[in-house]
Structure 1
Amino acid sequence: MSTQSYAPVTDHLDDPESAREEGRRKMDWALQHMPILNHLREEFSAEQPFAGQTIGMAMHVEAKTANLVELLAEGGAEVAITGCNPLSTHDDVSAALDAHERITSYAVRGVGDEDYYAAIESVIAHEPTITVDDGMDMVAAIHEDYPELIDSIVGGAEETTTGVHRLRAMDADGELHYPVFAVNDTPMKRLFDNVHGTGESSLATIAMTTNLSFAGKDVVVAGFGYCGKGVAKKAAGQNANVIVCEVDSRKALEAHMEGYDVLPMEEAAKEGDVFITTTGNRDVITAEHFERMSDGVLLANAGHFDVEINLDELDDLAVDRYEARDGVEAYEMADGRRLNVLAEGRLVNLAAPIALGHPVEVMDQSFGVQAVCVRELVENGEAYNAGVHEVPDELDREVAEVKLAAEGVEFDDLSDEQREYMGSWQHGT
């Protein structure tokens, strides 16, 4: 097959050896706090479930992700990986991965669009039998440009809200031609990664990037899905006044019943000090909203793609733009107001210069689900037709039980009588 060639990460670094050492140090620190991946690493290393498989990945290449990648390689797979966002790669971690004999990493921070997609094509050139994606760019590229590979692909896994949205749309159009697990939609992902991970990491990154407090500020959260709920909850916990913007009537009502102010963005734009988008949709904040905002507002995106804040319209309104702080670009309006965009409107908790992504313990859970989904595809892939599939509940529970055991937490079990009762329709009043 012919693809646009892009070199592995070490060809792009001035001092690859030093980078590898630093990347390994980051990975080792994270792994100390990832009991689920440690448990699976021991199991997979012994059983080699992925022997003979080639896994193509497009992920946020940082220390926590790297431990998932290495786990799959230690389980026998050949792995090729690149980034899923131009600003979320840690080059040192990418270099540490590339040093593994069964891993090739093409992820490089700060690449332009052409190199970003060329790196995805270089991963595809390894002819993966399994794909693991954040955002669905690799799945899309395979279907659009390399359909000849589809028959040899066992299946895939996708862990982002945006990626699952895209996959479901692709599936509805009859254009998804191999099975993909919607990891994002399983409880172990939504209840922890989306709520606690997004909430904590987004707010922590904004605070560290700006050196500003949330206390007493009006924080506008666009979208009240699981990620938005987490951001709202954590902001309220830091004594912010939270305003929620929603397009779904039930979610808007839920936010209202949780005690948050609920306003259309048109009104919220006049009130907010900090704006955080979590919708997975485009044009959430646009020119009509920028025109209503106060001097000094912060604009941050916690969605996967940089389309939620319309930066083209903001740029058209601005008479000047400049770097106010590392990771903060100020757009100055004709009347002197300054609107401050963090991380170029990209995923703030991973794309800001100091960003580290979700907490380690949270990602241990999500990556544990990813890992057992890959195992399920290898062991039982023939049972799944082309399309989007929910993660089997027993796999989700397996990861939860491993985590509880590692934490020394015991929990109850149903008795035989209780199981019979819950499974019967014959017990009445």
Structure 2
Amino acid sequence: MTTELVARAAARLTWVRSRMTLLADVRAHLTTTQPFAGHRIGMSLHLEPKTAVLLETLAAGGAEIVATGNHGSTQDDVVAFLREQGMTIFGTRDDTLEQHHANVAAVVAAKPDILLDNGADIVAGIIASGKAGQIVGGTEETTSGGYRLRDEMAGQVPFPVIVINDSPLKAIGENKHAVGQSVVESFMRITNLMVPGRRFVVAGYGWCGRGVAHYLRALGGKVAVVEVDELKAFEAALDGYRVANILDLAGWGDVFITATGHPQILGTEFFEMVADNAILMNCGHFPWEIDVPALRSFATSTTEIDIAIERFDLPGNRQVTLIAEGRMMNLAGREPRGNSIESMDLGFLLQVLSLERVATAATTLEPGAQPVPDTINRDIARRMLATMKADL
């Protein structure tokens, strides 16, 4: 079975690798310069084919890799392939949340000195273990992880962490356009329902929420936005979306999509008011934006329709449908694809060059969470424009 998994991943990677030209160029450079030689990179990130190309690139630069995926999004064939390449990889697609936490602890126990984090789970583990002194620095991929570093762990992180999500390149290329596209595509693929004419409520008008709303409307959806930040709500209104409170929209929406990075956006009060036959989905990193435990307590019965669709019977003779157990549905749902290859080529180049800066010049960086250096943003923008055959 392992041999079959490796062969399947290898075939998939042939296509993905051929379309990630930015990483191909930097991989050739790193093979010569070896900036990660002598470093062990500890990683928690969705383990899928595009991520495998990222890890190949870091390994080409001399890194030893110890990694785990995120809960519910790990692809077993990719894990088998990476282990075949000599990397230490923890996790399977069927891991429980408890096992996922054990996988993160195993990465921490392996004593990495550079971190590539997604949701700040490894940083939190390092801080809790008292091993922060061994860390040179790292990167954080997500909005949710950035919140944790700046709020929950404020003043506790003595090493630099470059927040990739702070980059305008990631915001525009990956969050708005790639997440927007993949969430809408995943909704259609998982549910087999049409977008045109359907009423969608997008909670959160950050870059991911903007993208989801944009692609839904482009395909004919009727879109409303929920946003607590006055400036973002103002922007959404001027962009032509209906803007209202989540409870005011509970009876209007057919599909509710959370994209905020914050917990319990859809909770018991919402479940008491939500329209019959509504569909609930989350595209934020943590599976907490929809309060699934509260939904299970509130429901009178549940029925698993398939691997990514669960129906809940509610009081008042109503039903709602939950997609992918409230996890990131474009990566944890059925036949996950995630963001487009080109967008992750750009996003992972941000990761590689930021990690290179950490490995070679950590003392020039401030402790704690910080944005991607402007020189890196502009370098990658020029490279991406060249691949698009666009002239400045």
TM-score w.r.t. length of structure 2: 0.97
> After TM superposition, where is structure 1 displaced by more than 6 Å over at least 4 residues in a row?
none
**For 1:308 and 1:294, how far apart are their aligned partners in 2?**
19
**For 2:43 and 2:26, how far apart are their aligned partners in 1?**
19
Distance apart, 1:338 and its partner CA: 1.4
Which of the numbers 183, 200, 215 marks the counterpart of 2:196?
215
Which of the numbers 156, 170, 179 marks the counterpart of 2:138?
156
**For 2:238 and 2:144, how far apart are their aligned partners in 1?**
26
**For 2:34 and 2:294, how far apart are their aligned partners in 1?**
52
- Secondary structure of 1:270's counterpart equals coil
Contact in 1 for aligned 2:202/2:223 (Cα 8 Å) = yes
Which of the numbers 82, 91, 97 marks the counterpart of 1:97?
82
Contact in 2 for aligned 1:328/1:342 (Cα 8 Å) = yes
Contact in 1 for aligned 2:132/2:157 (Cα 8 Å) = no
Q: Which residue of 1 aligns with 2:272?
A: 291
| Structure 1 position 60 matched with structure 2 position 41 | no
What is the alpha-carbon root mean square deviation over aligned residues? 1.2
Which of the numbers 374, 378, 384 marks the counterpart of 1:393?
374
Distance apart, 1:361 and its partner CA: 0.7
Contact in 1 for aligned 2:136/2:362 (Cα 8 Å) = yes
Question: Residue type of the partner of 1:95?
Answer: A
Question: Residue type of the partner of 1:150?
Answer: A
**For 1:226 and 1:370, how far apart are their aligned partners in 2?**
19
Contact in 1 for aligned 2:302/2:313 (Cα 8 Å) = yes
Unpaired runs of at least 5, structure 1: 1-14, 412-429
Distance apart, 1:406 and its partner CA: 2.5
- Secondary structure of 1:128's counterpart equals coil
Q: Which residue of 2 aligns with 1:115?
A: 99
Q: Which residue of 1 aligns with 2:241?
A: 260
Contact in 2 for aligned 1:171/1:388 (Cα 8 Å) = no
**For 2:110 and 2:317, how far apart are their aligned partners in 1?**
52
The number of residue pairs the alignment matches comes to 392
- Secondary structure of 2:337's counterpart equals coil
**For 1:315 and 1:193, how far apart are their aligned partners in 2?**
33
Q: Which residue of 2 aligns with 1:372?
A: 353
Which of the numbers 42, 64, 72 marks the counterpart of 1:78?
64
**For 1:110 and 1:142, how far apart are their aligned partners in 2?**
25
Distance apart, 1:171 and its partner CA: 5.0
Structure with greater Cα Rg: 1
**For 2:386 and 2:62, how far apart are their aligned partners in 1?**
26
Distance 1:366 1:385, change over 3 A: same
Distance apart, 1:336 and its partner CA: 2.7
Distance apart, 1:294 and its partner CA: 2.1
Which of the numbers 83, 104, 125 marks the counterpart of 1:141?
125
**For 2:92 and 2:196, how far apart are their aligned partners in 1?**
37
Contact in 2 for aligned 1:219/1:276 (Cα 8 Å) = yes
Distance apart, 1:160 and its partner CA: 0.4
Q: Which residue of 1 aligns with 2:11?
A: 25
Cα deviation, 1:251-277, whole Å, max 9, x if unaligned, reads 111111110001101111110001000
TM-score w.r.t. length of structure 1: 0.89
Question: Residue type of the partner of 2:76?
Answer: D
Percentage of pairs with the same residue: 37
Q: Which residue of 1 aligns with 2:24?
A: 38
Unpaired runs of at least 5, structure 2: none
Contact in 2 for aligned 1:372/1:395 (Cα 8 Å) = yes
More divergent stretch after superposition (57-66 vs 150-159): 150-159
Cα deviation, 1:221-251, whole Å, max 9, x if unaligned, reads 0011111101110111011110001111111
Question: Residue type of the partner of 1:120?
Answer: V
